[in-house]
Structure 1
């Protein structure tokens, strides 16, 4: 995506920038054309990456002054494709081109109970939701999950605001989250059929919750999610994509997606969310030398195991001991 296409484009000026956890930078933008950002919204940000302009999406943590001030928080990823590095390099006074708030993760009204599960930096998508539920007087719980407390942003702030409604699970403190226990509690409660779970975080965590949710026969429409497409089961590495229908072979570097590599090579593809959610960029896998790292939440676990298709925006391939993995794809 070379330019912003959703919502209106506007100027955003950095008015605050500080670290709120190890590797997590809080950035406050003041925008030219304010509009309130409802819980679950994000903004698309145009950034200078690899000599060009690329778009990244970041959840709106807070919306203040009628939407004039938008708070984002970005984790510096060791496998960054350039977005988190560019955001961490921002200083007060710098200007960016951003969209207005884009809604792709709406908070419903009327559920009997709400459970919000945030894995790591996924908390950014749920801060505003928790605040909205508190103001409504809703029955809700906020579950914060992380490897270490030092890399978990907003924990103290959220505990001060929501008190005992916050549960904190930290791996290196010996209190990891038990997904079966969490979903089992929901399933055994009297209001199970009217409980909605909203989750954002690593793919592994969300896949585990989805699997347990299905095992307990809970309503699939009551499970909502926001994703970070950079989460994968393997470290990113270079691999090759072959397109017989175009007579092309394209190398995908470790800091770019298949979609980005194809676009840079002049191969046109359809896409929208760029987070592995919508399935618009789905491509057929003709052959694979290596292992496919499905990083989407569009395909079911059974479909991922069959590995007949993948989402170009987030999926990757890793070598099984050879020099480089390769994928032969057919674009639909």
Structure 2
């Protein structure tokens, strides 16, 4: 993201919260202000190349400590693998906190809905809302009893207002009932896998609730189909781009010289959207920018997260193919 302040931080603590989730405490050179739901961007090395990843802030302190948690993901593009190898003393380049996911402080009630590692931004929501004595309850969905990261701190904060659903032991949560219990102007803040988020968005619309009261953040890695390699055809530029299992369409296009604008890289902002001309295979929409109806039209897809489940896709990118665009001296002239 342009305009961010970056810092040289140091890992001062690393500990396992669950078999797949590892928590890191980073020491910033100064105190930084982190609103509830904020995240930081960090620079990671993937295949000896620098890339940027975003991680929600679980907690922050006046002494410059910022706490994040990282989950080991089977379909990782390399970021989580790099992060989980970090040890105390390791230096890490990190941005100032970015606030895009704050709760509504004046809502008559807030429902927090977390799926798996999606709990990380909602811990700070729960803490901030209870400190302000705002009505809040939380449903926390996990695969098994071993994956309940932050369950104890959340119990201390929320007491009986916390409901944990363990998939391999409990009945599936009744999402309709959870949402129906909200007042008409109540707010829902959620973070989790794409299937959960799509189900909630559908129920929210069915109940005629205001879209402004549904807030969400996604980690952009989950889809409806296993991650597979695929090919992107760009006929206007006369090139074909192979997208490996460990990279996104966005990264593959940029590496091939097809400059593609982006911002969130989580399928939320829509800036990296490309036009679909044809698809040979199933389009796995992993974004939350387009509505289910728009996704069903198969006209556009977010290059940062969405993929093809086997086969290829033919696209029309926004980049016009100007060979001068992207040269540093051109950028300096156009941004000065």
The alignment's TM-score, normalised by the length of structure 2, stands at 0.92
Shift of residue 98, structure 1, vs aligned partner? 0.6
Structure 2 SS opposite 1:246: coil
Partner residue, 2:11: 14
Instruction: Give the direction of change, closer, same or farther, for the CA distance of 1:6–1:273 in structure 2 (3 Å limit).
Output: farther
Name the SS for the 1:87 alignment partner: helix
Tell me which residue corresponds to 1:206: 197
So what's the TM-score if we normalise by structure 1?
Answer: 0.94
Q: Following TM superposition, by how much is the alpha carbon of 1:160 offset from its aligned partner in structure 2, in angstroms?
A: 2.2
Question: Offset of 1:224 from its aligned partner?
Answer: 0.3
282, 291, 301: which is aligned to 1:300?
A: 291
Alignment of 1:288 onto 2:268:
no
Structure 2: distance between partners of 1:161 and 1:107: 16
Deviates more, 1:4-13 or 1:231-240: 4-13
Does the 8 A contact of 2:22 with 2:69 survive in 1? yes
Identify the residue that residue 214 of structure 2 maps to in structure 1: 223
Structure 1 Cα separation of the partners of residues 177 and 111 of structure 2: 13
Q: How many residues align?
A: 318
Equivalent residues of 1:233, 1:293 under 8 A apart: yes
CA deviation digits over 1:68-126, x for unaligned, max 9? 10000010000000010011000000001110001111222211111000100000010
Deviations 1:237-279 (A, max 9, x none): 1100011121111100011100011111121011111110011
Seen in structure 2, the aligned counterparts of structure 1 residues 130 and 103 have a Cα distance that, compared at 3 Å, is same
For structure 1, the residue ranges without an aligned partner over 5 or more in a row are: 187-191, 320-324
Deviation at 1:35? Answer: 1.4
Please tell me whether the aligned partners of residues 105 and 134 of structure 2 are also in contact (alpha carbons under 8 angstroms). no
CA contact (8 A) 1:37 1:63 kept: yes
Q: Deviations over 1:29-66 (max 9, x none)?
A: 00113212110110000001111000000000001125
Bigger mean CA deviation after superposition, 205-214 or 176-185: 176-185
Aligned-residue offset at 1:6: 4.6
Residue 85 (structure 1) aligned with residue 81 (structure 2):
yes
Q: Partners in 1 of 2:156 and 2:164 — Cα distance? A: 13
Mapped partners of 2:105, 2:140: distance in 1: 22
Preserved contact between residue 139 and residue 163 of structure 2 (Cα < 8 Å): yes
Aligned equivalent of 1:178: 174
Asked if the contact 1:16–1:29 (Cα under 8 Å) also holds between the matched residues in 2, the reply is yes
Indicate whether 1:266 and 2:254 are aligned: no
Q: Which moved more, 1:244-253 or 1:76-85?
A: 244-253
Secondary structure at the residue paired with 2:125?
helix
Tell me what 2:188 maps to: 197
Q: Does 1:64 align with 2:61?
A: yes
User: Aligned to 1:211, what secondary structure does the other structure show?
Assistant: helix
What CA deviation, in whole Å up to 9, does each residue of 1:136-185 have, x standing for no partner? 11110011011112122111221122211111111111232221221222
> 1:239 — aligned with what?
230
CA distance in 1, matches of 2:31, 2:269: 28
Q: Distance in 2 between matches of 1:34 and 1:262?
A: 38
* RMSD value, Cα: 1.1
Secondary structure at the residue paired with 2:130?
helix
Change over 3 Å in CA distance of 1:206–1:97 after alignment to 2: same
Q: Which segments of structure 1 move beyond 2 Å, counting only runs of 4 or more?
A: none
Maintained 8 Å contact 1:118/1:199: yes
Q: Partners in 2 of 1:97 and 1:212 — Cα distance?
A: 40
Alignment of 1:42-121 (within 5 A): 42-65=39-62, 68-121=64-117
1:6 to 1:45, Cα distance in 2 relative to 1, 3 A:
farther
